[in-house]
Chain A
Amino acid sequence: AQKITQTQPGMFVQEKEAVTLDCTYDTSDQSYGLFWYKQPSSGEMIFLIYQGSYDEQNATEGRYSLNFQKARKSANLVISASQLGDSAMYFCAMKNNFNKFYFGSGTKLNVKP
């Protein structure tokens, strides 16, 4: 069974600073995908970034980067130059070969001006 763990229920960051949101996962699958989603207070889930289990380089998408450490089974999200609009819930998710997406419990990020 897959399990996604996000140990930070809430985080604060000063505007313009970088922040790291932690995610660890547990799977016996060899092939899997790791995703981060942002959920603002309005409720929609917004895809941010993807990392494949076989990817050797860390994924980057604009201000988002994923610090992937396969041996440690961690896939931390780094947001650089935080903006007030980054305040939201952030979910780490894993997709397996059986089409299933499993989500962690989320981290609520608050960006302070």
Chain B
Amino acid sequence: DAMVIQNPRYQVTQFGKPVTLSCSQTLNHNVMYWYQQKSSQAPKLLFHYYDKDFNNEADTPDNFQSRRPNTSFCFLDIRSPGLGDAAMYLCATSRDGRVDTEAFFGQGTRLTVV
């Protein structure tokens, strides 16, 4: 089945040690999103790509970076994770920029910082 796959499902990293989360999609969608979701809170948009065009949210810390080497893959890099970065990270895709196209989500990566 076509889907959005995030690896790993659970990631434990040390304080200050760079970590990369990955997302792949078989939907051939143009748009890919990264969200941070802390416990019982709304998913917070970090950034998104439309094809290769990168769009950063104004309040996304510089500590968070992203790469999209091709249509299928997108990576979230956290350069120096702090305790406050522990959260669920959700990757999503959308077919295009039309307002009527929904987002398809992966199962998320739960990041623990020790």
Contact = CB atoms under 8 A, between A and B. Distances in A.
Specify whether A and B are partners. yes
Interface in A14-66: 31-33, 35, 37, 42-45, 47, 50, 52-53
A44 B100 contact: no
Interface in B87-109: 88, 90, 92, 94, 97-108
A53 B108 CA distance: 29
B45 A101 contact: yes
Interface of B: 31, 33, 35, 40-45, 48, 50, 55, 88, 90, 92, 94, 97-108, 110
19 contacts: A32-B99, A37-B105, A45-B103, A47-B103, A47-B104, A50-B102, A52-B100, A96-B99, A98-B55, A99-B48, A99-B50, A99-B55, A100-B45, A100-B55, A101-B94, A101-B103, A102-B45, A105-B42, A106-B40
Interface of A: 4, 31-33, 35, 37, 42-45, 47, 50, 52-53, 91, 93, 95-106, 108
Given A97-B97, A101-B94, A103-B42, 13 more contacts: A43-B108, A44-B107, A45-B43, A53-B99, A95-B94, A100-B55, A101-B45, A101-B103, A103-B35, A105-B42, A106-B40, A106-B41, A108-B40
Interchain residue pairs A-B with the least CB separation, the first 6: A33-B99, A45-B105, A103-B42, A99-B97, A105-B42, A47-B102
